[in-house]
Structure formats: C-alpha cells, structure tokens
C-alpha cells in the first residue's frame, strides 16, 4: 500500500519552493499587478527574477540548469504566483512546460545550449506553439509544414495564440512533415514533429498581440513561419513523435493551469472574506448574513476540492504513474470552480466589485481563460470519458 501518497504535507524542499514563490509574489508581484493589467506590460524584469529564484525550470534536472524540485513544487509555486498576478503565472507556467519538454526530448545541443538560458531567465520566456487558425481543439488538424532540406527542415505556416511568442528566445513549434505519405492523409498525427525555433530565426514574424479580456500582462500573438530553417538537432524526440511530445507537455501543463486557477480563485476568495467582515449593511457586517456565509462556504469547499485534485495529479506525475485523466479532471474542476468563486467574490463586493478599484474585477477577467486554454473544458471531458470508458472495458 502506498501510504506516502496519502500524505498531503509538502516535503521540506517543496515547502521551500512555495515559500520562495509566496515571498516574491507578495513583495514584487502584488504591488504592480493592477498596473501590469491596465497597461498590458509584459513582466520581463519579473521573469528574469523568477529565473534567478530557480522558478523557470522547476522540474528540470540540475545538470540542465533546473531546480529538480518536481511537479508538486511547481504546482505550489504556480498557485502562489497566480494569487498575486495571473499574467506572470501563465508566462512562468508555459516557460516551465517548454523547459521540461526540452529537457525530456531535446537533443544534446538543445539541452546544453538552450536549457540553462531558459531556466536562468537569460531567455525571458519559452513558448509552445500548437494552435493554428483552423486547428484549435482539433490540434491534430494543424497545417504548418516541415520540408526536409539538407541539414534540417524548413517550416512554413501560420500559428495562433502563442503565449509570450513575441518575447521568447525558445519556441516549440509543432509542424507536419511535408512528405508524400502524409499528403494521402494529412491528419496522421504521427507525422507531426516538434521543432525548437529560436528568436530571430530568418522567416519568423510576429503578428499583432491579441487584445484580451484578462491576463493582459501576458502577451499572446500570432506567428508566421516563412521557410524558417531549423537544423536536425532542433527536433524534439524522434521525427514524427511531435504529437506525443505535445500531449506529454500538455498533461503537465494542465496541472499547472489548474494550480493557476486555484491561485486566482484563492485571491478572490480571501478578498471576499475580508470585505464581508468589513462592509456593513443593515447595521451588521455582510459576514453575519447567512446568505453571504453560504457563498463563502461553497467557495471554500470548492477551493479545497480543486486543490486536492491538483495535488493528486501532481503527485501522480511525480511518482511517474500515468496522470492524463487526473490532470484533465484537475484542470476541468479547478478552472470551472475558480470561475464560479471569482464570480461569487464580485457578487459579495456588490457594485464595488464591478469597478477596477478592487482586484476581484481583474481576478474574474483573468480566471476566465483557464477553462479555455491548454484544452477547453469540453475537451477535458472527452479525455476523462475516454479514460473511464477504457478502464471499465479493461475491468
Ligand atoms: C489567452 C490564450 C493563450 C493561449 N496560449 C496558447 C499557446 O501558448 N499555445 C497554443 O498552442 N495555443 C494557445 N492558446 C489556444 C488555446 O489552446 C485554444 O484557444 C483552445 O485549445 C481552443 O481552441 P479554439 O480557440 O480554436 O476553439 P475551438 O476549438 O474552435 O472551440 C470552440 C468551442 O467549441 C467546443 N468544441 C470544439 N470541439 C469540440 C468537441 N469535439 N466536442 C465538444 N465541444 C467542442 C470548444 O470546447 C469551445 O467551447 C491560447 C488561447 C488563449 C485564449
């Protein structure tokens, strides 16, 4: 029996990572979060500091420049950062996802040259480019091509929604091999490869940043690849294994989107509790009205349940057991409940919650995308259903 799996206490090193993130979040991030949101400022200096603190390669081995602290520590850190600023949290989480993919699947050259730069914050962020104008939930329908040429490949196509794509020194781009076999069935996933494209590659252009509802301090851009050359050493894993690389990265990424959702919701919940104790109506604090107490109780319960799912998925990843369904459940539940919790927080603030004077307004805008990116809630349900049906068939 695996008793250790039932221990919800973080280890000494996991607690240290969480404490480091919490202190940085409250000292550096929280005071400027509203301004970053308002002016759409990318957190460049803050990302470099996260690199100094070892929070950009949390799951990367030390000999590749990472902190080797593991997925539980990363989820704890993402939650703390998101509690202060969701824009920084998403930038940090995607960078960690890219660093881990490079460490796991990268060639000797990619690991030796790029990973230390990414983990240390020298490269301010990493990006992961799967989505395209016609390939969102149906990512396997991507149309960007990779044509073999002497010494490597030439990439051609249009990518969309690339988080930090205008800032990153390292972009993982998924493209389909442009070979005759693939043309007979352009949707064969095994013909997709993951390529590392570096900043400034000739033929790589960045489009206009999206004007988003929330997470406005993070940048989200389209990319155009016009015969961008990458050497053979830029392929992650074996050629044709790109979909596996992408899905492996997304499994881990979903745990961190869930942690991010919990962090944003926790900030909104804490603000709602404080406000309910201070604000008086009918001669009493709001917190004395049972209707308000019910809202707070529902939020507290959902927050705890969401976090337990996040920890279960992170622990499974840490133990090296399959966690695709656990990650999908954590992402589905945490993101949907976090939206409800932030919405309830705005309700408790009344009219004031609808103004920019209070952070709950930003929390609600920031949290909304967590049910959309790295696979929508509907796609998480498909993943979960496939898994449970297969389990029952096996039983
Ligand atoms: C701020 C932001 C940042 C992002 N960052 C990145 C990034 O860094 N890298 C990257 O590659 N992508 C990124 N994305 C893209 C994101 O992953 C996609 O938006 C998401 O996967 C959904 O794709 P779509 O927007 O094309 O929606 P669609 O796939 O068109 O879906 C529209 C609606 O239809 C539903 N739907 C679709 N198919 C089904 C189905 N089979 N069954 C039931 N319902 C279905 C969806 O759930 C959704 O509600 C980002 C998106 C945003 C908004």
> Which range, of 9-13, 119-123, 305-309, averages the lowest pLDDT?
9-13
Do the beta carbons of residue 302 and residue 330 sit within 8 Å?
no
Per the listing, tokens 């050497």 go with 231
Per-residue pLDDT at 41 exceeds 90: yes
Per-residue pLDDT at 5 exceeds 70: no
Beta bridge partners of 355: none
- Nearest atom, ligand 1, residue 137 CA: 29
Task: Give 317-357 pLDDT, tens digit per residue.
Answer: 999 999 999 999 999 999 999 999 999 999 999 999 999 99
Q: How far apart are CA 195 and CA 84, in angstroms?
A: 33
Spacing, Cα 14 to ligand 1 middle (Å): 32
Average pLDDT over residues 120-140: 97
Residues 6 or more apart in contact with residue 308 via CB below 8 angstroms: 8
Band (134; pLDDT cuts 50, 70, 90): very high
Helix crossing, 359-367 with 30-39: angle to 10°? Answer: 70
Spacing, Cα 365 to ligand 1 middle (Å): 17
Q: In the chain, where does the domain assigned CATH 1.20.140.10 lie?
A: 244-394
Task: Give 52-99 pLDDT, tens digit per residue.
Answer: 999 999 999 999 999 999 999 999 999 999 999 999 999 999 999 999
| Closest CA to ligand 1's atom 29 | 137
What is the reported pTM? 0.96
What pLDDT, on a 0 to 100 scale, did the predictor assign at position 6? 60
Give yes or no for residue 220 CB within 6 A of ligand 1.
yes
Four-residue CA torsion sign, 238, 137, 83, 40: positive
Average pLDDT over residues 361-376: 98
Spacing, Cα 27 to ligand 1 middle (Å): 34
Q: In the chain, where does the domain assigned CATH 1.10.540.10 lie?
A: 3-125
Q: In the chain, where does the domain assigned CATH 2.40.110.10 lie?
A: 127-240
Spacing, Cα 137 to ligand 1 middle (Å): 5
CA distances from 136 to 187, 359, 373 (A): 14, 31, 9
Task: Give 199-254 pLDDT, tens digit per residue.
Answer: 999 999 999 999 999 999 999 999 999 999 999 999 999 999 999 999 999 999 99
Q: Where are the alpha helices (DSSP H) in the chain?
A: 12-24, 30-39, 44-52, 71-84, 86-105, 108-113, 115-120, 180-184, 242-278, 290-319, 324-349, 359-367, 377-394
**Mean pLDDT over each residue of the chain, to the nearest integer:** 95
How do strand 170-177 and strand 126-129 relate by DSSP bridges? parallel
What pLDDT, on a 0 to 100 scale, did the predictor assign at position 9? 87
What pLDDT, on a 0 to 100 scale, did the predictor assign at position 1? 39
- Nearest atom, ligand 1, residue 378 CA: 47
Band (8; pLDDT cuts 50, 70, 90): confident
Per the listing, tokens 């690849």 go with 225
State the catalytic residues: 374
Task: Give 138-196 pLDDT, tens digit per residue.
Answer: 999 999 999 999 999 999 999 999 999 999 999 999 999 987 655 555 544 558 999 99
Residues 6 or more apart in contact with residue 14 via CB below 8 angstroms: 69, 70, 72, 73, 76
| Closest CA to ligand 1's atom 19 | 373
Residues 6 or more apart in contact with residue 137 via CB below 8 angstroms: 375, 376, 378, 379
**Best CATH choice for the domain 127-240 from the list 3.65.10.10, 2.40.110.10, 3.40.350.10, 1.10.260.40:** 2.40.110.10
Tokens in use for 139? 């990512």
Please tell me the CATH superfamily of domain 244-394, with its number: Butyryl-CoA Dehydrogenase, subunit A, domain 3 (1.20.140.10)
Q: How far apart are CA 141 and CA 186, in angstroms?
A: 8
Fold of 3-125: Butyryl-Coa Dehydrogenase, subunit A; domain 1 (1.10.540)
Band (394; pLDDT cuts 50, 70, 90): confident
Give yes or no for residue 280 CB within 6 A of ligand 1.
no
What pLDDT, on a 0 to 100 scale, did the predictor assign at position 190? 54
Angle at the Cα of 214 from the Cα atoms of 325 and 346, rounded to 5 degrees: 90
């Amino acid at each position: 029996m695996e008793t250790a799996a039932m221990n919800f206490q973080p280890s000494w090193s996991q607690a240290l990572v969480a404490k480091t993130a919490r202190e940085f979040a409250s000292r550096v991030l929280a005071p400027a979060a509203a301004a970053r949101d308002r002016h759409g400022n990318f957190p460049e200096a803050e990302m470099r500091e996260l690199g100094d603190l070892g929070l950009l390669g949390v799951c990367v081995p030390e000999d590749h420049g990472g902190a080797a602290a593991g997925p539980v520590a990363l989820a704890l850190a993402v939650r703390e950062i998101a509690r202060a600023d969701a824009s920084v949290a998403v930038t940090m989480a995607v960078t960690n996802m890219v660093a881990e993919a490079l460490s796991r699947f990268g060639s000797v050259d990619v690991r030796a040259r790029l990973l230390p730069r990414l983990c240390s914050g020298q490269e301010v962020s990493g990006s992961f480019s799967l989505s395209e104008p016609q390939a969102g939930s149906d990512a396997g329908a991507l149309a960007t091509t990779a044509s073999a040429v002497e010494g490597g490949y030439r990439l051609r196509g249009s990518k969309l929604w690339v988080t930090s794509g205008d800032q990153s020194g390292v972009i993982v781009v998924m493209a389909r091999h442009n070979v005759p076999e693939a043309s007979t069935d352009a949707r064969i996933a095994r013909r997709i490869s993951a390529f590392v494209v570096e900043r400034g590659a000739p033929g790589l252009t960045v489009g206009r940043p999206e004007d988003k509802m929330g997470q406005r301090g993070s940048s989200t851009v389209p990319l155009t690849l016009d015969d961008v050359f990458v050497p053979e050493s830029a392929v992650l894993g074996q050629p044709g294994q790109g979909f596996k690389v992408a899905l492996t990265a997304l499994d881990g990424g979903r745990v961190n989107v869930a942690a991010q959702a919990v962090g944003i919701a926790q900030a909104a919940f804490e603000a709602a509790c404080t406000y309910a104790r201070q604000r008086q109506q009918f001669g009493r604090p709001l917190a004395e009205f049972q209707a308000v107490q019910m809202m707070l109780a529902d939020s507290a319960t959902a927050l705890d349940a969401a976090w337990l799912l996040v920890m279960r998925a992170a622990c499974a990843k840490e133990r090296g057991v399959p966690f695709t369904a656990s990650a999908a459940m954590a992402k589905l539940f945490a993101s949907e409940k976090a939206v409800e919790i932030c919405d309830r927080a705005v309700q408790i603030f009344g009219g004031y919650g609808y103004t920019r004077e209070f952070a709950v307004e930003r929390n609600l805008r920031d949290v909304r995308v967590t049910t959309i990116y790295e696979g929508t809630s509907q796609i998480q349900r498909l993943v979960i259903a496939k898994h449970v049906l297969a389990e029952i068939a096996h039983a």
